[in-house]
Chain A
């Protein structure tokens, strides 16, 4: 469920900026470190009365949220804003740099040893839910996540700043013309995303009892997987994705290969068919839409200026024959794909008894990530943003 909190941060930033905030996992770690360090610093122990514990914990969350939100703001201001409008790859590089920088900053400030959360502030009770022992804290985390999700949805749908965020994500320039201060809106997005990450960080430190400088990296990746799985840019999607990922991780390990083979093969087959049928259609649509041909002509000419040697010899209308040829080739590939898939299915079924050892746990989640990105990048609940060409 914690994945959900972090995934929300990714999703929000992506929704507004179409940009993967690679440093988000590090922001999460720092949030956790700040909260835990504060609680160690005030010296909570078993002797502290309950009301003081609650107070300290609330203060820990508050300080962590404020400082981490400030960090998020700073990050956007320093590392991302100057790059707005640059091509896609460049802000991503900056984000990777920021991620490395922050991770090593944690080492320099807090050391490479894990920070241990004082056990006194961690609720240790259990409740029995349908015969399963569940930690009170786990229920608390789930409730908190749902509350935050509802709050966030409300924020986006019903408030002024939420409207501004949605407008900014639709079309930044138009939003600016309508009098929305897009820069402020984007900063706000980062602040909210980082604050959520801070809450997640403190909760993780509480749930597992400790936090290490590199914890955030894996969590960030998993949360990103969750966000993509549910459909990036989509808030209920992030939560759904987090749940699905959690289930896959915990129960995927116990699955036998036969089961997995079925799932993978069906997924692959569906994905491949969709891809193969959609791709040529898309291309035809692009080329056949005469109304838009002018736009492409413009873009081709721009390209022509950037790369002067590359002579653009072909006129757009001549491309239609080529499109037909392409479609024929795709049909051939479809057949080949079928043969390949059937072969794989047979191979898997022959080994169906093999049970996955838990050493493949992460490998499985990474494979899920790859498959989702490759075959259904819009996720389970669909992408919030429309594709911009």
Chain B
């Protein structure tokens, strides 16, 4: 009996110690900044930021938030009906969970935001859209690339990124241009990767390229089964349509299996500097090709300046979709000024008419809310990059 009581007391002490340790660790974690809107005589207007700051895509969420913050600084002080307005951002995190997304959306609606930038992923956008649609609050996403979203007939939705079907077609056409005849298309079973992969495969098959489709799972580390299948197929090119972490591992394991000479390509998910380390160093990663679902740097005159400012503000290089999110807020505010109104319906009407000039260059939106550039259309919009050494260079 005695020993039993003792052990539970010891356990109590240990649990308490563990609790304290946890608290301490939390303290060590980098404290998040608290939004402190400036106190001023001018009016403020709330804009919602619906993004994912925790969960698997937290780095994308961080880039989006910081891009939007920069835009909020730049666009504050716009004038509607002779009154000057400042932007107050209401930043909420949906944790990357679709079940949390409607709650975040409702919360933003409750707080009376005039427009929303987000959501980060297509799934969470789909989960939140019915709520914004009902409240007639315009929603502009900088990174929800799933083609279906604008096809579903929602009035409030716009996006400043290019669709996966466009990028997939461009990626496929590029492969055909390069003269490859046997291609492996691989995805990670996520919504983004599968959509993009299907589009690439369809384009390739239409162009007479022989395709082997392989699929891994997001979060996996071992792709030896897929790599073995690839080897048996003996491709000229491997196209991975998922994110950089898995892409790096696939590339590494391909090289280890003796397929170093197979060209490695991917979509915007692999266009990250981290892929170099994840693929096991420069010698494995060098020469990778990728497309991107934003405009090309040539068409984005303000981009280098933006990238510098981003790095200055955050200490990190401008992350993926930071500029798309910057311009999402920019377009929203411009539409508000054009409409001279904070009514959702007026802003939406103005967004359809807008000719916006921002970091990404000049663009507008078509009738279903997809981004439109004045001079280029279709797959010409999609920029191409090559990984030279350890940096991605724009090659046209």
- B-contacting residues of A (Cβ < 8 Å)? 74, 77-78, 81-82, 105, 108-109, 112-114, 116, 119, 122, 126, 133, 135, 204, 208-212, 214-215, 218, 249-251, 253-254, 357-359, 361-362
Contact = CB atoms under 8 A, between A and B. Distances in A.
Q: Which of B26, B55, B274 has the largest count of A CB atoms less than 10 A from its CB?
A: B274
Contacts of B18: 78
Nearest to A250: B225
B215 A358 contact: yes
A133 B258 contact: yes
Given A78-B11, A253-B229, A358-B216, A119 B280 contact: yes
Contacts of A208: 221-222, 249, 252
A251 B226 CA distance: 10
14 contacts: A81-B11, A108-B26, A113-B274, A208-B249, A209-B280, A210-B248, A212-B219, A212-B221, A214-B219, A215-B219, A218-B219, A254-B228, A254-B229, A361-B216
Contact of A77 (B11, B216, B225, B248): B11
Interface in B344-379: none
Q: Which secondary structure dominates where chain A touches chain B? A: helix
B215 A357 contact: yes
A113 B245 CA distance: 10
A81 B6 CA distance: 11
Contacts of A211: 221
Contact of B7 (A82, A119, A209): A82
B278 A210 contact: yes
A142 to B, nearest CB: 14
B189 A77 contact: no
A359 B25 contact: no
Contacts of B225: 249-251, 253-254, 358, 361
Interface in B245-259: 245, 248-249, 252, 256-258
B56 A112 contact: yes
A74 B214 CA distance: 43
B8 interface: yes
A176 to B, nearest CB: 11
Nearest to B279: A209
A82 B280 contact: no
* Chain B residues touching A, range: 35 or more
Nearest to A210: B278
B284 to A, nearest CB: 9
A116 B257 contact: no
Nearest to A251: B225
Interface in B26-41: 26, 29
Q: Which of B15, B220, B221 has the largest count of A CB atoms less than 10 A from its CB?
A: B221
Contacts of B26: 108
Nearest to B54: A112
Q: Which of A208, A209, A218, A358 has the largest count of B CB atoms less than 10 A from its CB?
A: A358
B95 to A, nearest CB: 12
A250 B215 contact: no
B59 interface: yes
Nearest to A253: B225
Contacts of B202: none
Nearest to B25: A108
B58 interface: yes
A210 B249 contact: yes
Contacts of A113: 59, 274
Nearest to B194: A359
B257 A133 contact: yes
B14 interface: yes
Interface string B267-291: 0000000100110110000000000
B29 A108 contact: yes
Contacts of A78: 11, 14-15, 18
Nearest to B257: A133
Contacts of A214: 219
B135 interface: no
Given A108-B29, A218-B220, A212 B215 contact: no
Contacts of A109: 25
Given A113-B59, A119-B280, 14 more contacts: A108-B29, A116-B277, A204-B221, A208-B249, A209-B248, A210-B248, A215-B221, A250-B225, A251-B225, A253-B225, A253-B226, A254-B228, A254-B229, A361-B225
B224 to A, nearest CB: 6
Contacts of A74: 14
Nearest to B8: A82
Nearest to B276: A116
A357 B56 CA distance: 26
Closest 8 CB pairs of A and B: A359-B215, A82-B11, A116-B277, A78-B14, A208-B221, A253-B225, A250-B225, A209-B280
A301 to B, nearest CB: 25
B217 interface: yes
B245 A358 contact: no
A218 B219 CA distance: 9
A210 B276 CA distance: 12
A101 to B, nearest CB: 9
A212 B7 CA distance: 35
A358 B281 CA distance: 27
B213 interface: yes
A119 B229 contact: no
B10 interface: yes
A82 B7 CA distance: 6
B217 A77 contact: no
A29 B287 CA distance: 32
Nearest to A107: B54
Given A119-B281, A209-B252, A359 B189 contact: yes
A124 to B, nearest CB: 8
Contact of A209 (B189, B215, B258, B278): B278
Contacts of A215: 219, 221
A81 B7 contact: yes
A20 to B, nearest CB: 20
Nearest to A138: B256
Contacts of B277: 116, 209-210
A254 B226 CA distance: 9
A214 B56 CA distance: 10
Nearest to A78: B14
Contacts of A209: 248-249, 252, 277-278, 280
Given A77-B11, A78-B18, A108-B25, A114 B245 contact: yes
B258 A361 contact: no
A202 B224 CA distance: 19
B76 to A, nearest CB: 32
Given A82-B11, A109-B25, A208-B222, A250 B249 contact: no
Contacts of B15: 78
